[in-house]
Amino acid sequence: MMTAEYALSHLNELVAPPMVEVSARLKENIKTTDEEEDVNRYLFILFVKDYIVNPNFDNSMCNTGAIEKFGTMPSLKGQLKEDEKQAVAEWLYDRYENTKF
């Protein structure tokens, strides 16, 4: 997993924000008043499945600095099947549970 220290010292080599950062940022932003974590996880997954096909500035939850540096991500439209989108979205949530960036 990429650490914040590593990312900062290799900024010029990065082509996208580190996945651990993306995951943490989305978890901060996609929150309901429901205390059940599975509701938040479900919304996170819905967002990711949509965003990777329709990435755009208005939908992005990235910080402005990241957008200025990288631009919005290229659309993965047509490149992933429905079950693959589901799998990658679940992975993005679950892989970085209890990790800090």
Give residues in contact with ligand HEM (CB under 6 A). Answer: 15-17, 22, 25-26, 48, 51-52, 55, 60-62, 66-67, 70, 72-74, 88, 92
- Closest contact distance (angstroms) between CB of 9 and ligand HEM is 19
What is the number of the residue whose Cβ is closest to ligand HEM?
73
Integer Cα distance of 69 and 100 in angstroms: 22
Q: Exposed, middle or buried: residue 15 (CB in 10 Å: 0-12, 13-18, 19+)?
A: exposed
- CB closer to ligand HEM, 35 vs 82: 82
Integer Cα distance of 30 and 65 in angstroms: 20
